[in-house]
Amino acid sequence: MAARENSSPSCLYDALVVGAGIQGSFAAYHLAKRGQKTLLLEQFPLPHTRGSSHGQSRIIRSAYPQDYYTAMMKEAYRLWAELEAEANTSLQRPTTMLILGRQETPAFQSYWQTMQRHHVPSEVFTPQALARKYPDIHPHGGVMAVADLTAGVLFPDKALRAVQDQFQRSGGTLRDAEKVLSILPGNVITVTTNRGEYQAKRLVVTAGAWTSHLLAPLGLRLPLQPLRIQVCYWRAKGPSAHSHLEKFPCFLGINLNQEVHDIYGLPSGEYPGLVKICYHHGSPVDPDKPDQLDQASAVPDLQILQNFVKSYLPGLDPEPAVQERCLYTNTPDADFILDRHPRFRNIVIGAGFSGHGFKFAPVIGEILCKLSLEEEPPYNLAPFQISRFPASPKAAL
C-alpha cells in the first residue's frame, strides 16, 4: 500500500485525480510538476490487477492508421525517455513490430501510408522475405508485412510504479484503498470517499472501466463498454521451434482470417518460452463482477485465437499454456475521450482508451493536465471530444 502522508482530509487541493491507473498517474505527475498541490486517489490497494494497467508487457509503436495518433507518438517517446531518466531505470525494450496484412486490404494500406507520411523508420517484407526472416510465421494467402522499427515492449508494472514515485517526489499525495463515492461540482469541487472528504479546484476523472458509473450522477452518460480480454500465452510444439521464439517480433494481424478485430502478439517475456497472442476484443463485463459473463453477448475469443494460431503460427501448440485477464474500456469508434465535462468545465475526463492507450499515457497525462489548467494542448483533440457522440451529453444533462 502507498504511504499515507500527513495531509488533512479537509484541506483544499489545486487538483484531485480519481483513479491511479497509468492515465491518472501521468495526469497527476504532470500536475504536480506544474506546481499544483495534487491528490491522486485509487480505490484498490496498490499495486492491483483489477483494472487495465497491470502486467509485464504493452506494445509501443508509431504505426497507426490515423495521423493524429502517429503524430502524438513523437512526444510520447520523448516523455517516456524523460521518465526513464528521472527514475534512472529502463521501462521498455526495443522490438520490431510487424503490421501483417494483404496489400489490397484498406486498413493495411492505411498503416503503411501513415508511416510513410510521418517518415516512421520502417521496412517492407514481401511474403517471401517475411518467411525467410521470421520462419515461425506462415504468410500464406499473400500476407506481407510493414515493420515499424520504432516499436518496443513497455513494462507496465514498472512504468506505473515509476510514474507514481516521481509524482510523490514532486510533492503529490497518493492515497490507495480509498474509493471515491461521490462528486459535488462547483467552483470548489467536493469529493467524498469511504475515508473522508476532500476539496479541490479542479478534478480529473481517469477511472477506467468505472468511469460511466462515476459520471452518471453528474448528468453525463458516456457510451463506454467495459470488455473482458483473454490474455493468452502459447508455447512451441517442440524444442527446435522454441529457439526461434526468442527472435519473435511484436505483430498486429489485420483481418488475416476474416476476424472482425485484429490479433496481436508479443515475444516471450513474462513467461520464458511462451509468446503472448491475444484478440483485440472481448466480452462485455461489469468491472465489479469480472467472473460473470453474459453468455448471450460473449465473444468466442479463444476459438478465434486457436484458428489463427493453427493457420499462421503452426509451430505453436494451439492450446494456450497460460490464460489471464485484463479490462478494455471501449468507445464506439475506439478513439479516446479527452475532454472537459460539458457543463462543469473544471472537471476533465480521460477515458475510453479502447485497448490501446498505454503507449500514449505520458502525452495523455500532459493533455489532461493542460485541459484542467485551462490551457490548449498542441494536438488535434477533435477525435477525442464528447460531442462526437450523438445525443450525448446534452440530452443526458
Ligand X SMILES: Cc1cc2nc3c(=O)[nH]c(=O)nc-3n(C[C@H](O)[C@H](O)[C@H](O)COP(=O)(O)OP(=O)(O)OC[C@H]3O[C@@H](n4cnc5c(N)ncnc54)[C@H](O)[C@@H]3O)c2cc1C
- Pick one of 326, 338, 363, 386: the residue that binds ligand X (CB under 6 A): 326
Separation between Cα atoms, residue 248 and residue 95, nearest integer Å: 9
Site map for ligand YCP, 3-42, x if CB under 6 A? Answer: ----------------------------------------
Nearest C-alpha neighbor of 90 from the set 100, 101, 81: 81
Q: Which helix (H) or strand (E) holds 301?
A: helix 301-312
Q: Does 328 bind ligand X (CB under 6 A)?
A: yes
Give the residue nearest to ligand X (CB).
Answer: 21
To ligand X, the closest distance from the beta carbon of 229 in angstroms equals 4
With CB under 6 A as the contact rule, the residue among 65, 253, 357, 362 that binds ligand X is 357
23 touches ligand X by CB under 6 A: yes
Q: Which does 353 bind (CB under 5 to 8 A by kind): ligand X, ligand YCP, none?
A: ligand X
Length of the chain: 397
Rounded Cα gap, residues 329 and 362, in angstroms? 19
From the list ligand X, ligand YCP, none, which binds 252 (C-beta under 5 to 8 Å, kind-based)? ligand YCP
Hey, what's the cell of 190?
467536493
Nearest to ligand X of 100, 209 (CB atom): 209
Nearer to ligand X, 21 or 101 (CB): 21
Minimum distance of ligand X from residue 142's CB (angstroms): 26
Q: Which helix (H) or strand (E) holds 122?
A: strand 122-125
204's enclosing H/E stretch is strand 197-205
Q: Output 36 or 92, the one with its CB closest to ligand X.
A: 92
Q: Which of 2, 15, 17, 18 binds ligand X (CB under 6 A)?
A: 18
Contact call for residue 370 and ligand YCP (CB under 6 A): no
Task: Say if residues 256 and 101 touch (Cβ distance below 8 Å).
Answer: yes
Least Cα distance to 97 among 129, 127, 134 occurs for 134
Q: How far is the CB of 170 from ligand YCP (least distance, A)?
A: 28
Neighbouring C-beta atoms of residue 266, cutoff 10 Å: 22
Residue 59 lies near ligand YCP (rule: CB under 6 A) = yes
Kindly report the CA angle at 223 between 219 and 229, in degrees rounded to 5?
A: 130
The gap from C-alpha 356 to its chain's centroid, in whole angstroms, comes to 4
C-alpha cell at 33: 510538476
Residue with cell 502524438: 72
Q: Identify the residue among 30, 33, 61, 276 touching ligand YCP (CB under 6 A).
A: 61
| Chain residues that interact with ligand X, rule: CB under 6 A | 18-24, 41-44, 51-53, 58-59, 179-180, 206-210, 214, 229, 231, 278, 326-328, 353, 355-359
